[in-house]
Structure 1
């Protein structure tokens, strides 16, 4: 875990929850688990600084803004902020899902082996 400076809050990145993936692009044949999965899920070595009003930023972006995680509260202990992957807000999501759909289609074409 990173050394925290005064005021910083540790963060964990997690897969999308219902609020984040509702209405997200999902090609036919691709399981919902693939839509929920973000590229940085499980990452724990991130910290965030509260805004001037004491609240945490609503979104965290990665990859020049192409991947978005949305603040979803705190973990059970209340010490770590939880940010969930936000596929609807991530500009790269559609392209990634189209690639995933191709892999699933190729797998199905080969007979599922």
Structure 2
């Protein structure tokens, strides 16, 4: 499985996971001037911007470590544009990372890091 295919699979797994926990998916692969946000969801009046990282293993560091300060800034700027152009009742926002370790034939492992970074 190639990188982009693995990424799409990881995003689908993450979206299904969030839905199963009561999150409403508002948008996926939201693209704006500064970058892309994998999943935008709402949960308990909080808009959650989710970066999904899919890896085979943590041999070279965790998936969340790939969301460095530069990547965080791109996500934050893109989230600001989303907020500007989409009206929501919620004034609360959060940035999460979902790590997915997927190496067939083994089942995947998912780790949801709530509030992984802040503005």
Tell me the TM-score range normalised by the shorter chain: under 0.3
Q: Greater strand percent: which structure?
A: 2
TM-score by length of 2: 0.26
Structure with the greater alpha carbon radius of gyration: 1
